[in-house]
Structure 1
C-alpha cells in the first residue's frame, strides 16, 4: 500500500539524507547566544550545556523527527502570508536544512490569512516527513464568501540546505482533526462516515496517494455483540458511525467513538475480546484506541467512577492482545479525558500514570494508592529506563517533580525546583511550551540539555 521510497523532483541534495558521518563532520555548534539557560534539570542532564531557541526568533513549538534526529520548527515570514520549516540538529542546535516557503491561503478583499498553521511529523521506514498544515479559509472578495480549506505541504526531513516540498494536498473543508502517524507515512483525518461534508480519509505523504474510506472498507465483522446491541435499539450501527484512528499495513483501523474498535473490512472486533468488566464511567468513552509504534494501544474504563483503567497492546492484523495491565487507583479522574499515549524510543508508551514496555511486554502503573501518590508522566528516557513526571502537592501547591526507575518500581522525589522534561530523545532532555506558543521560561521558546 505504501511506497518504500520516493524520488522527489526538484529537491536537490535536500531530498536525500546524507551519510551520518558526513553530517556529523560538518555540524556546527549552536552560537553562544543560543546556549540554553541554566535551570534546575534532573541530575542525569547537564544544565550548563545545551542549546535553546529564544522567543525573539519567532519559531513555533518544536516537533521532533526521530529518525533524522532533528527538531523541527515553523517560522512565519514578515506579514504572516507564508511560513517555513526550520530543521535543527537535536544535539547541537545547528540548522540542518530549511524548507522552501509555504504560501498560506488568503481570504477576503484584503487578502489576509484566516486560519491556523501547525507542524506534523510522519515516518515511513527510516525517513521522516515534515507536514505543514493550514486549516482555515481562502478566497472571497466581499461579494462572495470565503471557502473552507485545509492544506497539507510535505517536506522530507534529514536533508541539508534548502529543501523543496514533495507534495501539497488541498481539501475543501476546514478540519483540525488531521493527525500524523509515526509509521506508514500517513496523515489521516478523523471524521465519521455520517459526516456529510468530510469523510474519513488518509494521505500517503510518500507517494501522494489519497484514500477516502467507504462504509464497506470500514465495515465491522458481522455478528458482533456491541454492534448488534446498537441495531436493536434503533441507533446507527458500528459501520455507519465508523471513524478511523489509524492506517495499518493490514488496512484501516476503525472505531465508533465510545465502545469498540476493529480492523476495517477485516476479521476481528474488540467486542469479541474486551475486558470482562469493561464499562462506561458516565463521562468518558468506555474505550479509546490509538495506533502508534505499529501497535494498537487501547485504554479501557473498567470502573464506573473512572478510578480503574485497563491498558492493552494489540496486534493490528489479528486484534490479539500482546499484553495488558490493570491500573487501579483510589481516586477517579473525572476532570479530564483518557490521556493520549506517547511513544519514547520505539520502546515505551506512556499515558497518564501508566508506562507500557513494548520490548518486555510489561506494563507499569503508578496510580494513587495507600502507599504513594499518583504519578503523572511527562517523559521517558528510553535509553535508561527512567521516567519523569509529577505528583500532587499538599494545600494546592504546584505539583512536585519525581524520577521513576521503571524496572525497579521506585519513585524518587526530586528537588522542588527541578523541572521535568517535556520529552527525552537520544539522551537529550527537551523543554518546550506546555500551552500553545507560550514560553516555558522567560525569553525562551524551548531548550535542550544533553546527558552528562
Structure 2
C-alpha cells in the first residue's frame, strides 16, 4: 500500500513539473510578445453581422458583415470595391486594413507603423489620380524638441487601393495643418494662403507660399482673407472675402450663375469635381433682400451646373454644411439642399417662414437621400440625433422613418455602411446589403 502511494505521488510530481515546463514554454510575458503586431484589441469579423441595428427598409440585416474595434475614420475606393480602416497595434503603432464592401472578405493589409503623434489615431482619406485610387493616412508631429519649423512635419503614407503598395512622404510644416483630397493631389494647407500639394503617384511635393499667390485682375475682395479652399484638375482653388478663382484657371466672376450678383460668390464646400457656392441675388431683383442663390459648379471648368434659391438665415452659420456626392456623381446633398445634377434640378427644403429644419447627410446612386429633422448637423443625424427621414429624388418628397432607425453613412457596391458605438466604447462598422 505504501509503495502504491509513493508511486502515485511520484507520478503526480512528474505531471506537475511537466505542466510548469509547458507554461514556461508557451506562456505570455516573453520578449517576443513585445514585438507582436496584432491589435491590442483584435478586430472581430464575422461571416454575418452580429449586431442587428434598426435600419431603413431598403437594407437587410440578415446578411452582411461587421468589424469591431475600428478607428474613427474609414475611406472608400468605389472602383476597387474596397474599404480601408485603421486599427491600433502594439507599441503605439497602427495598421491599415481593407475589406471588400460587397462580400465582407478581408483584402490586403499594410505593415504596422508608428506615426509622429502616436497618442492620436492618424487621419484617413482617399484620392484619385489618372484612373488610380489611393488610401492616405496622415498625422502631424515633431522630431527632436520641435522648436523650429523643420522639426515639425506632416507624415503621409500613401497606399495603392488595388494592391496596398505603400509610399511614405514627410512634408515639413509649421502650425496645425488641414489635409484634404478633392483631387488630383493630396493638399496640405494652413487655413490661409500657404499650401503644399503631394502627388500620390510619385510623392513629389509642390509648395505654394502666400507670396506666390496671384490674384484675378481687378478683384480687390480676393486679396482680403485669402484662403486655399481645395484643389481642382486645373489647379488650386482660392477665395477671398468674396469671389473665388482657380490659380491659373477660371474666375468666379466669369462663371457666375444666371440671376446672381457676379461680385458675391463664396465657395462653401468642395468635393471631388464639384464646388458648392453661395451667391447674392442680383441687385434690384425681387427677392434680393430675403434670398440667396446656391449653385453647384463643375470644379474643372467652373461652369454653373444647377442653382436653387433659399431664404437667408437669420444668423449666418459659423460652418456651412459639407457637400456629399453619390458614388456616380449624379446627386449632391448639403444640409437642406438637394441637387440632381443630371436633371439640372435643385430643391431647398425649408418652411414658409424660411426656417430650415431638414439636414440631409447621405445619398445613394438609387436616388435616395437620408437625413433628419431638427438635427444639429449631418454628423448629429448619422449618430441618431433629430427625427430620421428619407428623401426620394424621383418625387422630391420626404417621409419620416421610425425614431430608432440608424441611417446609412454611404452606400457602395450595393451595401449600406452603418456605424455604432457599444457600451465598451468600441466602434462597430457594419455593412448591410440593399434589398433587391
TM bin, normalised by shorter chain, reads: 0.7 to 0.9
Shift of 1:416: 1.7
Shift of 1:177: 0.5
Q: Which runs of 4+ in 1 moved over 6 A?
A: 143-146, 301-307, 370-373
Verify the 8 A CA contact 2:368 2:393 in the aligned structure 1.
yes
Are residues 1:61 and 2:61 paired?
no
**130-139 or 166-175, larger mean C-alpha shift:** 166-175
Quote the Cα distance in structure 1 between the aligned partners of 2:251 and 2:354: 40
1:173 corresponding residue in structure 2 = 174
Verify the 8 A CA contact 1:298 1:313 in the aligned structure 2.
yes
Post-superposition CA distance 1:221-252 (Å, at most 9, x none): 2123xx1xx5xxxxxxx347533222223222
The correspondence for 2:56, drawn from 42, 51, 57, is 42
Post-superposition CA distance 1:41-91 (Å, at most 9, x none): 111100222211223xx54432222222212111122121x2111011112
Are residues 1:151 and 2:155 paired?
yes
1:401 corresponding residue in structure 2 = 388
Post-superposition CA distance 1:84-113 (Å, at most 9, x none): 11011112222111112233237xxxxxx3
1:208 corresponding residue in structure 2 = 203
Q: Kindly tell me: are residues 441 and 428 of structure 1, through their superposed partners in 2, closer, same or farther at Cα, counting changes over 3 Å? A: farther
TM-score, normalising length from structure 2? 0.75
Verify the 8 A CA contact 1:45 1:451 in the aligned structure 2.
yes
Shift of 1:292: 2.4
Are residues 1:389 and 2:389 paired?
no
Quote the Cα distance in structure 2 between the aligned partners of 1:369 and 1:278: 28
Aligned 1:279-298 pairs, distance under 5 A: 287-298=266-277
Q: Kindly tell me: are residues 103 and 301 of structure 1, through their superposed partners in 2, closer, same or farther at Cα, counting changes over 3 Å? A: farther
Verify the 8 A CA contact 2:99 2:106 in the aligned structure 1.
yes
Are residues 1:259 and 2:247 paired?
no
2:4 corresponding residue in structure 1 = none
Q: What's the Cα RMSD here?
A: 3.6
Q: Kindly tell me: are residues 387 and 144 of structure 1, through their superposed partners in 2, closer, same or farther at Cα, counting changes over 3 Å? A: closer
Are residues 1:380 and 2:363 paired?
yes
Q: Kindly tell me: are residues 267 and 410 of structure 1, through their superposed partners in 2, closer, same or farther at Cα, counting changes over 3 Å? A: closer
Question: Any gaps of 5 or more consecutive residues in structure 2?
Answer: 1-44, 376-383
Are residues 1:31 and 2:46 paired?
yes
Question: Any gaps of 5 or more consecutive residues in structure 1?
Answer: 1-29, 107-112, 231-237, 281-285
Larger RCO of the pair (alpha carbons < 8 Å, separation 6+): 1
Quote the Cα distance in structure 2 between the aligned partners of 1:177 and 1:372: 32
TM-score, normalising length from structure 1? 0.73
- Report the secondary structure of 2:202's partner residue: coil
2:110 corresponding residue in structure 1 = 99
Shift of 1:176: 3.4
Quote the Cα distance in structure 2 between the aligned partners of 1:423 and 1:62: 11
Shift of 1:300: 4.0
- Report the secondary structure of 1:173's partner residue: coil
Verify the 8 A CA contact 1:137 1:174 in the aligned structure 2.
no
Shift of 1:332: 4.0
Shift of 1:178: 1.1
Q: Kindly tell me: are residues 98 and 128 of structure 1, through their superposed partners in 2, closer, same or farther at Cα, counting changes over 3 Å? A: same
Shift of 1:448: 1.4
Quote the Cα distance in structure 1 between the aligned partners of 2:60 and 2:216: 53
Kindly tell me the number of residue pairs found equivalent between the two proteins. 378
1:72 corresponding residue in structure 2 = 84
- Report the secondary structure of 1:100's partner residue: coil
1:89 corresponding residue in structure 2 = 100
- Report the secondary structure of 1:101's partner residue: coil
Shift of 1:369: 3.4
- Report the secondary structure of 2:122's partner residue: strand
Aligned 1:332-411 pairs, distance under 5 A: 332=314, 334=316, 336-345=318-327, 346-369=329-352, 374-382=357-365, 384-392=366-374, 399-411=386-398
Are residues 1:140 and 2:152 paired?
no
Q: Kindly tell me: are residues 372 and 53 of structure 1, through their superposed partners in 2, closer, same or farther at Cα, counting changes over 3 Å? A: same
Shift of 1:203: 1.0
Verify the 8 A CA contact 2:255 2:304 in the aligned structure 1.
no
Q: Kindly tell me: are residues 306 and 450 of structure 1, through their superposed partners in 2, closer, same or farther at Cα, counting changes over 3 Å? A: farther
Verify the 8 A CA contact 1:431 1:447 in the aligned structure 2.
yes
